[in-house]
A and B are shown apart, each in its own frame.
Chain A
Amino acid sequence: MTPSASTGFWRRYSRNRSAMLGLVILLSALVMAASAPLIFPGSPFALAGQPRTPPGPEFMLGTDTLGRDVLAGIFHGARTSLMIGVLATLVSLSIGIVVGGVAGYYGGNIDNLLMRLTEFFQTIPNFLFAIVIVAIMTPSIQSIIIAIAIVTWPAVARLVRGEFMALRNREFVQACVVVGMSDLRILAFHILPNCIAPITVIGSLMVATAILVESGLAFLGLGDPNVMSWGYLIGAGRTVLRTAWWVATFPGIAILLTVLAINLVGEGLNDALNPRLRDR
């Protein structure tokens, strides 16, 4: 992998059909999120028509038990889901890279200590842990992001630790030490750029996980009550699934497609960033 191979990267990526499909779906989700206030101005919580109107000419995806437009909810929910997915991933990556990087580069007792800490977090089932954190901190966008980041960073830390361990003994890193560079400089400018590929891949897959966790929390009523989200819509529609199936179904499809798209993009990135694996 070299920077000058970036055009080669796009060529390899675009050759992968399922990855391109994922990218298209993901981009449309982004467009939905961006255009929500333009197409559906006003609050998605506002009453729009008769409760439980089935999908039809007036409301394309129908209305829910309180007469709110499901389509508007999905558009506005895209904003929440994607924002939480991306922000939680960024926070999680930052924690994971710092912990994993320090553990992998220094090794020894520091590594031991940090890895035991990581294991401590990994012993608690992710989703239950997230519920506990949100319940303690009271549900809000911030607490959800923090909860997701706290339950997902150990995976990043483990990956980064392995990469840094392998790279720290490479001769180009030793050359940096011999020249007299500080540890921080070596870690940030010489080792980290060489493991961008796996970090990108795991990051993209984590966005999908984050969206799922957020939906799950919202479904259980632990979402931010002031913000429309896909999980909230499903939660609201679950009691009327037999009489008004559209309320829970369409947000469910939105989650399914978005998560699938992100996973496809992630795998496409993986193949394109590691061309040798694919040729085999």
Chain B
Amino acid sequence: METMQRRLRESPVITSVVSVLLGMLVGAIMMIAAGYNPIQAYQALFMSAFLMPYDIGETIRTISPLILTGLAVGLAFRTGLFNIGVEGQFIIGQLAAVIVALKMDLPPVLHAVVAVLAGALGGALWAFLPGLLKATRGVHEVITTIMMNFIALYLANTLVRNWLSQGADSTETIPESASLRWDLLSQAFGNSRIHFGIFIALATALFMYYLLWKTTLGFELRAVGLNPHASEYAGMSVKRNLIMSMMISGLFAGLGGASELLGTSGYLAIHGSHTGIGFDGIAVALLGANSPLGIVFAAVLFGVLTYGGPVMQFEANVPTEVIRVVFAAIIFFVAANVVRWMMSKFGNKAVKKSD
């Protein structure tokens, strides 16, 4: 009884599932408070993603970048790093990909591959500085990466305005040769914008699993995250691992940005504020307990909610922003480990009663 209770209390799956339900409860309360019907709203929300092949395709398209940004945040978390900079690395991934797509002339497939790799490299390099500063000068990565997010945003904007276009608000559309779209795939899903990004995302999840649990580097990354002092004592270089972790995390984020640009939008526009996909990655990673499989499932849930939001607004009249509230509540419940607290309260009562 005791061990089963503890196992339940410490299982990340239980924590995540209960947190999601609590989060949706908060959303329902918000809806009732504003005079909407939560049952109708949630029905529209979840049904919308699976109505037609087109919707399924679009939902998968929404999920793909969330998997990648979630993996990016999750990998850094494993080494004890909080990479809030995934948003900025995502933008640099987009920027590097669009530069290769527009400025280089390569045959089909190869062009797309080079553009994707450029995005990944860009993301990794953008994460290098925060990693270096953390390793050499002990500067907290949260602050540097937040600053780097804004620098990335303005850098992309100035390059789009002054170099990639002649003073316009967005670049031209990328050539067919660099696109990640595939007509057969798109047609199979009712001409939606689904693209190769989902395969990149799933392959990256597999890669993260392999890296963390099947390689020496991965072992070191996790060891540093669990106990940097012990790792140092065991002869691992904590500094090197911190920098590596940030760069691999940035690489995942860059892949997300590149595939989103080459697959979904096809051009880079000037943005007044951040895309939000990088920040959503934080929620995805937390909910997925930083495990590759958990992150994929969490991204599916967040993707379904994100895609379903506008449909819910249309059908049940509930503003889409209630989804953001649900996300926020889920983050709170996972972070504060409210579930474990509830179980310990509940568990103690049960034990007392049986006495």
Are A and B genuine complex partners? Answer: no
